[in-house]
Amino acid sequence: MSVTALESKRLEAVLKGDEEVEVVGTGTDAVAYALMLADIDVTSAYPIRPYGGVMQTVARLIADGYMKAEYIVAAHEHDQFEIVKHASAVGARTFVGSSGVGWLLAIEAIVAISTDRYPVVALIGNRALDDPGAYGVEHNDALMVRDVGWLLVWVDTAQEALDTTLIAYRVAEDPRVMLPVGISMDGAFLTHSEHVFKIPPKSKVQKFLPPYDLGNRKLHPSNVISVAPQVNEDWVTEIRKQMDEAMKNARKVIEEVYRDFAKIFGRDYGNPFVEPYMVEDADVVMVGMGTVSKPIKEAVRRLRAKGEKVGFLRIRWFRPFPTDDIIRYLSDVKVVAVVDRDYSFGSPFDGGAVFTEIRSALYEAEHRPLMMNFIGGLGGREITYNDAINMFNMALDAARKGKVEQRVIWYGVRE
């Protein structure tokens, strides 16, 4: 169970040296290493798959002395999130996480974390909601908090998971933002798959990530404040407006932080909000979040080789929503096909949440593309390369005809 000799040599190198070190590990391992580098003070664990792996790695790193943090095993997820909320209030950098129904059990505390403006960073190992119990990925767990002041980001490689964790602390703790960040990671496809990734040296992380400072909101006998007293209608609008402003500020801050990240670590993500893949001059662009990018990118490459003008846009930051980038990349194409690993029953076109948001963002665009929605990959069902080709073919067909025959397609549903 303990850290292996090889791993130990590598960890010593990043903690003491100035060079990054290449390792093999899962998506959750990558997040755990980021937490070690970010020197978190308090974390709280509760077992649920698929997020739980991160806490096992963190426990190992603490037990072997590579990181120092209070590691609290909670009674349940609500307990877990309240623990970090209050640790954050005292000035501790905190980490927490969950999956599926666990995340939902904590929702009361989750909302209080954002309304109290504590920059907690959470990992959501995306998982289908009960009932019936299922392990596989679905994005509805994280999407449950899309309206309450959590910044939400989806990653699709272990490297991106590690880097985004560091970026998340810097963005969340920025005085202009002071909101929590939820990092979403597709259950199994990323949480449990092995990747090669690089761990940056701690010396660089210290340059990138200043200490957590709550300023005059730190709860301490030397700073007597009352936090979140019972409030009436005279004040609630103003308190929500402050959050609205912080969320809007976050767009600017995210751009700054990615630029700084590239400067310090030499890894440039380009556009921080979305990852455009061969979208230039494309007639059909597929849109998705998370690991679905893998088969779709492969399909794009093969179709491009055959002369089809297709592309892919992966959304990283869902909150704040990248409206400008959506308009920039999608408004001029013929057909936009959104792959939703989620559902939003009874939504305006009975489509998925991402589809509905993109549709709303494009309403203001000068040109509006035709739109299709594929609901697929639910409960962890794989979206394969062949599925991606099929979806592209349907979208290309609509582009040729200039008309979408079926707007929302439950892809692969058995009749």
Partner 1 sequence: MVSKRSPPDELLKFIPARDSPYTLVVVYGERSIGDFWTFPDDGTVERVLGAIAKVMPNILTLDDVKKYLESLDKPSERVNRALEAYQSLVKLREVKPGEGLPYKYEPPHLPGWKDMMIGGAIPGLKPNQRNPYFTGGTAKHYRPVINFDKCIKCSLCWEYCPDSVFDVTPDGYFNPALAYCKGCGICAEVCPVPDTIIMVDEMEFEDGYGKFIDEYRAWKENREAYRKWFESLLPKAQVISVRKR
Partner 2 sequence: MTISIKLARTVKDLLQMAQTEYFDAGHRTCQGCESAMVLRWVAKAAGPNTIVIGATGCMYVANTTYYTTAWALPWIHTQLSGTGSAVVGTAAALKALMEKGKLPNEKINVIGICGDLGCADAGLSEVSNALTHTKYNFLILMYDNESSANTDIQETTMTPYGALTTFSPSGKQVRIMKYRWKKNMAAMMAVGHPEVRYVATAIASDPIDLYNKVKKALEIGGPTFIHTLDPCPKGWGGYDPQVQP
Q: Give contact residues for partner 2 (rule: CB under 8 A).
A: 39, 41-42, 44, 68-70, 72, 74-76, 78-92, 94, 108-109, 112, 211, 219-221, 223-232, 235
By a kind-dependent CB cut-off of 5 to 8 A, residue 118 interacts, out of partner 1, partner 2, none, with: partner 1
Q: Which residues bind partner 1 (CB under 8 A)?
A: 115-118, 178, 216-217, 224-229, 231, 234-235, 238-239, 241-242, 245-246
Judged by CB, which is closer to partner 2: 212, or 343? 212
Residue 48 φ then ψ, to 5°:
-160, 140
For residues 27 and 51, is the Cβ–Cβ distance under 8 A? no
By a kind-dependent CB cut-off of 5 to 8 A, residue 260 interacts, out of partner 2, partner 1, none, with: none
Taking the complex as a whole, the smallest distance from the CB of residue 63 to partner 2 amounts, in Å, to 15
Grouping H, G, I as helix, E, B as strand and the rest as coil, residue 224 is coil
Grouping H, G, I as helix, E, B as strand and the rest as coil, residue 290 is helix
By a kind-dependent CB cut-off of 5 to 8 A, residue 75 interacts, out of partner 1, partner 2, none, with: partner 2
- Strand locations in 299-364, DSSP E? 310-315, 317-319, 335-340
Taking the complex as a whole, the smallest distance from the CB of residue 53 to partner 1 amounts, in Å, to 32
User: What's the token pair of residue 31?
Assistant: 């997040």
Judged by CB, which is closer to partner 2: 91, or 412? 91
Judged by CB, which is closer to partner 2: 92, or 134? 92
By a kind-dependent CB cut-off of 5 to 8 A, residue 88 interacts, out of partner 1, partner 2, none, with: partner 2
Taking the complex as a whole, the smallest distance from the CB of residue 239 to partner 1 amounts, in Å, to 6
User: What's the token pair of residue 412?
Assistant: 């692969």
Judged by CB, which is closer to partner 1: 4, or 226? 226
By a kind-dependent CB cut-off of 5 to 8 A, residue 74 interacts, out of partner 2, partner 1, none, with: partner 2
DSSP 18-40: SS-EEEEEEHHHHHHHHHHHHT-
By a kind-dependent CB cut-off of 5 to 8 A, residue 70 interacts, out of partner 2, partner 1, none, with: partner 2
Please name which of 218, 15, 53 lies closest in space to residue 119, comparing C-alpha atoms.
218
DSSP 247-268: HHHHHHHHHHHHHHHHHHHS--
Is beta strand 194-199 parallel, antiparallel or unpaired with respect to 21-26?
antiparallel
Is beta strand 408-410 parallel, antiparallel or unpaired with respect to 335-340?
unpaired
295 prior amide bond cis, ω within 30: no
